[in-house]
Structure 1
């Protein structure tokens, strides 16, 4: 890891901790900041943050994505921090957390989104091949439906699927097509 990465991670953690203290004070939250740990992920590609609960230690860990910090403006990233604080509070108080009604009520109070915007473009687009169906989904990783779309069906109409490699535009409908596209693209995969 470079000194630059360490410095950026330190900046992310410092800003997040300061913001967390401000949110707790401003909203008089019963969140134990002493039982809250922080980390930065350099690998995260889809989610801007997450909150893990260690029930044995009764400690919540908020993990923030470096790439999200680099791509978002601070107000949007601060909203991610508030979102994860809601999870941490739920874990501390109830031992569990989700995105249900309880979460939504507190998130609204903190002006935190229920879901955080993706900060990365997907690598793959799955689409239904049915004539009257416009179902589609995106993927960041080569999941089973991406590698072998012929084994799966559209959840809306039951039609066959196709997959597009977003960067190249290559499309396949079977496992052999996936392998062929991967081989043809080589380093551009």
Structure 2
């Protein structure tokens, strides 16, 4: 699969090489519709909350589930604008291989949605795709959250927060994506 064995990953370059190779294998094996020529890769040494993230331009008229017309975006030349897949080194060092692979599959769903729809979320389409790719809707935590918000109806994880924020303070204004129920502070 890759020139670098998972157990031998030491440098950031090794981590990027192994992760890129694994993602290409996921594309082949599970039919993930992602153009890697439009994905930039980076390693974060600062992130404390996210194992990985897809950084992308915000397109105000984009909706998950509706293919985006990239011909309307200046500089896009009819193809999606590049996004960046940012991998957190500390998460890689904390997770076992199966957790890291699941994290990468999770992020590939975000890239796939972004490239097709111009945006991404954790809604119903994401949940269905996550099930098909044998990954979770929310990535494993690698640091202890100060606040954990769950769905009042089903108990599902809605968000982990590491500091006080409007979602924590004003949680009665928000609803879960899964059931549309109120949020509880666990």
2:87 corresponding residue in structure 1 = 64
Judge conservation of contact 2:103–2:140 (CA < 8 Å) in 1: no
Equivalent runs, 1:62-141 vs 2, <5 Å? 62-122=85-145, 124=146, 139-141=161-163
TM-score by length of 2: 0.63
Q: CA RMSD in A?
A: 2.8
Count of aligned pairs:
133
Residues 154/39 of structure 1: CA separation in 2 closer, same or farther (3 Å cut): closer
Q: Which has the larger radius of gyration?
A: 1
Q: Which runs of 4+ in 1 moved over 6 A?
A: none
SS in 1 for 2:86: strand
Cα distance, 1:153 vs structure 2: 8.2
More helix as a share of residues: 1
Alpha-carbon deviation of 1:125?
6.0
SS in 2 for 1:51: strand
Structure 1: unaligned runs, 5 residues or longer: 1-6, 127-136, 146-151, 156-189
TM-score by length of 1: 0.62
1:79-129 CA-to-partner distances (Å, cap 9, x unmatched) read 10110000000000000100011111111111121001210124x469xxx
Instruction: Provide, for residues 129-155 of structure 1, a one-character-per-residue CA deviation record: whole Å limited to 9, x for no partner.
Output: xxxxxxxx97534x368xxxxxx6885
Distance of aligned partners of 1:153 and 1:108 in 2 relative to their CA distance in 1, 3 Å threshold: closer
Q: 1:37 and 2:9 equivalent?
A: no
Instruction: Supply the distance in 2 between the matched residues of 1:97 and 1:144 (Cα, whole angstroms).
Output: 22
